[in-house]
Amino acid sequence: MTARSHLAPVLRQLHRARGMPLRALAARLGIPAADTAAILSGERFPGWSLTERFAQACGADPLVLRKVWEDARLRSDPHHRLDLADTDSPRSRPA
The answer, yes or no, to whether residue 67 has pLDDT greater than 80, is: yes
Say how many Å lie between the first and final Cα of the chain, rounded: 15
Per-residue model confidence (pLDDT) at position 15: 97
Domain boundaries, the chain: 4-76
**Gap between the Cα atoms of 80 and 72, Å rounded:** 11
Mean pLDDT across 72-83: 68
**Gap between the Cα atoms of 10 and 1, Å rounded:** 14
The answer, yes or no, to whether residue 65 has pLDDT greater than 60, is: yes
CATH tag, 4-76 = 1.10.260.40
Per-residue model confidence (pLDDT) at position 75: 82
| pTM (2 d.p.) | 0.77
